Every structure is written in C-alpha cells, then in structure tokens.
C-alpha cells in the first residue's frame, strides 16, 4: 500500500495535535477563566469577587491546615502539583460582552473551565458559549432557576437558586404566623432582567400555594434613574412584607426614594443581591435596620466550624471585608471546580465534566451551611441549604432555619 507525502504530513500533524492531551498530566498550571463585572455600576462586585477567587487560589496553590479540599499540600496532586492560574475578564454587566469575553477566554487564553458571573442575564450567554466549546461552566453565584433547566451538559451550580431561597422565605413566614405574627399581604418589587423575573415568578407561585395575598407585583427597569412612581404604588399597597429583588444601585435608590416619599415598609424580606452588599448599608444602613435577606452563607457558622472564621480572615486581609453571600459562593465555586479538575487528572473539558458529575463533597468540607455539594442531572446542587439573615446592630445574624439560627427574628422591623 502506497502512502503519499500528504498522508505522512497529515499523520504527523495529527500526532502533534495529540501531544497536548498526552502532556496534560504533566502540566505545570491549570488555567481557569473568571468572568465578572469589573467596570461599570457593578464593578465593586467584581473587585470583591477577584479577592474571593484569589483567596481560594492561594489555599489551593499553597499548603494550609484546613479541612477543605486541596488546602493541605500544594497545587493539584492529581496533575503532579500543577498550580491554578486565574484569568479575569470583564463583562461589564452586558450579556453580549460576556459572550465575547467567554469566547476569548476559551480560544485565546485556552482556559480549562470558566466561573462566573454575578448577573444571571450574563450567565445565560456565557454558559451557551461554554456549551458550544464543551468547556465546563460553574455558576458560582447566579440564582435564576431557569439557568439549570436549559438542557446544558456543561453547566453546574453548587449554590441555591431563587426557588430554593424563596421557599425558605415562605417557610419563615409560615413559622412566624404560627407564633401569632400578622403576615397576610405581600408586595413584590423586582427588576426586569432574568434575575428579577424568575424571582417574582417563584414568589407568586409560592404565595398562591401558601395562601398569601400579593397586593402589588411591580416590575421596574434595571438601573432606572427614578423609582418614584413605583414607590408610590408600594406605599399605596402598604403590604405586611415588601419583597425586593434588586441589584445594589437599584436597592439604594429604592430605599432613598422610600424615605423621600415617607413610605416605611412594615417588613422587608429581600432576595439578596443589593441587600447583601456593604455599599447599601454604607449608603442607607440607618433606614434598613431589621431588614431580612436570604443567603447561602453565615459567618455565624464560624462558632461551630472555626475553619470558616480563619478563612474569612484571609479574605478580609485582601478585601477589607468579611465574606458575604456572594464572595463566599465565589470562593467555594473555585474550590469545587479545582477539586473536580484534580480528580479528573486532566484539563480536558469532557473529563472535567465527568468529574463534576461525580462530585460528592460533604458540607463540613466547605465554608457553607450546606449538607453537601452533589449535582443532579441538570447540574444543580439541591443540598445547598439557604439561610435567612437579619441586619441588626450593624451586622447580619442568622435567624432561620431554627437549626442554623443564632437569634430570634425581630418582627416587625424596628
């Protein structure tokens, strides 16, 4: 059989193409893309996220005595001690910018996985690009329930979504009603992207199922310059509980406008986002004493699990802040991804995906109050238990569920 020169060249090229795969086990570093808003109105979120990911990377790459995956020893032992290198990209809270940056990370920076993104609307486009290139995407802090219901094979979310968070809120309402507290009417207030819309849909469904009356369901334009008309509607409705789903700048504007129009909500139970951010409490903290926000992290856990406090101090040294609901999920996002890559013993997307599918991480080996990290067939971790936190005395304390609570809820708000 004759073999022409072209076949020899093609065969040689094929052999060369296989070299990176064969060499993966000997790689000196694993490159992971991290895509967040690093400029624009949400830039502080991205800056804090950078510090959270850098803290996680230092724990992985260094040698630390924590009962956390990859903390002890240096690097990824499954890849010969390879170090994690992070490449940050700025999506500017723009879904199309997110799409372009994800493609750049994959094609130019050759990342093995991507983690992001804060805004759920950006997670939609980034995860689609990852799916096309068969690169695992870990949704560290996006909470829209629809994200894991699109049939994607490379999408994974360790943290709760808004149906889980909202269920915890309504469980809390039921528990308070059982104590004789008056909770009958609700006012929903939500921005118009996928985050706000999904949140409202979940809360409308639960209100109907649990017998609560929604007296206002107000959708507003994200980053609106004025919320005067919307707040007038909220004031007229005068619900027992105001339930906002707003990012930071909108949340600050909401509270300021409420003050200007003389509307004092009886109680606020928020869908996290802006209501977990230090910027809001720096701006209007005196007006939101007693506000309750859902979350997936509580620093109270440090009393039971000292490791949590020690890791928080490492993050605080970098950021000047304690972990909050977002930065804690971001930190754990990199730990979960790196742990899977280590088990995969490869930087190949399919092998990392298989390892993520097989993840089963006990809650005690995280900094979160979760039972464990284990993904279902859609990539969602259903064992990520939410908590409710109340802002009192200049800090958040856990008030629900009872097994995690360190204080009783102050109800109604002071």
CB 117 within 8 A of CB 34: no
Single pTM value for the model: 0.84
Domains in the chain: ranges and CATH: 23-160+302-383 (3.40.50.2300), 163-295+388-400 (3.40.50.2300)
Residues near 75 by beta carbon (within 8 Å), at least 6 away in sequence: 60, 61, 81, 82, 83, 84
Q: What is the pLDDT along the chain (414 residues), one digit of tens a residue?
A: 334 434 434 444 444 444 444 334 457 999 999 999 999 988 999 999 999 999 999 999 999 999 999 999 999 999 999 999 999 999 999 999 999 999 999 999 999 999 999 999 999 999 999 999 999 999 999 989 999 999 999 999 999 998 999 999 999 999 999 999 999 999 999 989 888 898 999 999 999 999 999 999 999 998 889 999 999 999 999 999 999 999 888 999 999 999 999 999 999 999 877 887 778 888 887 888 899 998 888 888 898 899 999 999 999 999 999 998 899 999 999 999 999 999 999 999 999 999 999 999 999 999 999 999 999 999 999 999 999 999 988 888 899 998 888 899 999 888
d(CA 203, CA 165): 10
Measured between alpha carbons, how far is 246 from 249 in angstroms, rounded to an integer? 8
The predicted pLDDT at position 103 comes to 98
**Would you call the peptide bond into 230 cis, given omega within 30 degrees of 0 as the criterion?**
no
DSSP designation for 326:
H
pLDDT for position 12: 44
Contact 146, 194 (CB under 8 A): yes
Number of H helices and E strands in the chain, helices first, is 12, 14
pLDDT at 8: 39
- Looking at residue 328, its pLDDT comes to 96
DSSP-assigned beta bridge partners for residue 64: none
Which residues touch 411 (CB under 8 Å, ≥6 apart)? 176, 181, 267
Q: Residue 126: helix, strand or coil by DSSP? A: helix
């Amino acid at each position: 059989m004759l073999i022409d020169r072209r076949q020899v060249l093609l065969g040689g090229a094929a052999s060369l193409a296989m070299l990176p795969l064969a060499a993966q086990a000997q790689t000196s570093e694993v490159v992971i893309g991290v895509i967040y808003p690093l400029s624009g109105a949400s830039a502080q979120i991205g800056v804090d996220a950078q510090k959270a990911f850098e803290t996680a990377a230092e724990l992985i790459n260094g040698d630390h005595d924590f009962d956390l995956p990859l903390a002890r020893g240096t690097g990824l032992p499954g890849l010969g001690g390879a170090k994690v290198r992070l490449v940050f990209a700025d999506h500017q809270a723009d879904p199309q910018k997110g799409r372009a940056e994800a493609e750049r990370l994959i094609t130019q920076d050759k990342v093995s996985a991507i983690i992001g993104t804060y805004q759920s609307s950006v997670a939609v486009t980034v995860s689609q690009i990852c799916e096309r290139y068969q690169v695992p995407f870990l949704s560290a802090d996006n909470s829209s329930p629809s994200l894991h219901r699109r049939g994607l094979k490379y999408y994974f979310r360790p943290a709760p979504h808004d149906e889980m968070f909202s269920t915890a809120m309504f469980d809390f309402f039921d528990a308070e009603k059982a104590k004789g507290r008056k909770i009958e009417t609700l006012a929903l207030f939500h921005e118009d992207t996928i985050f706000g819309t999904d949140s409202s849909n979940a809360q409308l469904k639960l209100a109907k199922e649990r017998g609560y009356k929604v007296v206002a369901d107000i959708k507003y334009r994200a980053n609106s310059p004025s919320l005067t008309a919307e707040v007038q509607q909220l004031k007229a409705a005068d619900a027992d509980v105001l339930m906002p789903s707003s990012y930071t700048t909108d949340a600050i504007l909401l509270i300021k406008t409420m003050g200007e129009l003389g509307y004092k909500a009886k109680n606020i139970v928020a869908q996290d986002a802006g209501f977990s951010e230090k910027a809001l409490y720096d701006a209007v903290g005196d007006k939101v004493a007693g506000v309750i926000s859902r979350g997936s992290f509580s620093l109270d856990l440090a009393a039971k699990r000292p490791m949590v406090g020690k890791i928080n101090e490492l993050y605080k040294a970098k950021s000047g802040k304690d972990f909050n609901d977002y930065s804690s999920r971001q930190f754990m996002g990199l730990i979960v991804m790196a742990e899977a890559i280590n088990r995969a013993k490869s930087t190949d997307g399919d092998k990392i995906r298989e390892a993520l599918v097989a993840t089963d991480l006990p809650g005690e080996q995280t900094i979160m109050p979760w039972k464990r990290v284990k993904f279902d067939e859609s990539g969602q971790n259903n064992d990520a238990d939410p908590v409710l936190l109340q802002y009192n005395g200049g800090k958040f304390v856990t008030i629900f569920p009872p097994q995690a609570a360190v204080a009783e809820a102050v109800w109604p708000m002071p």
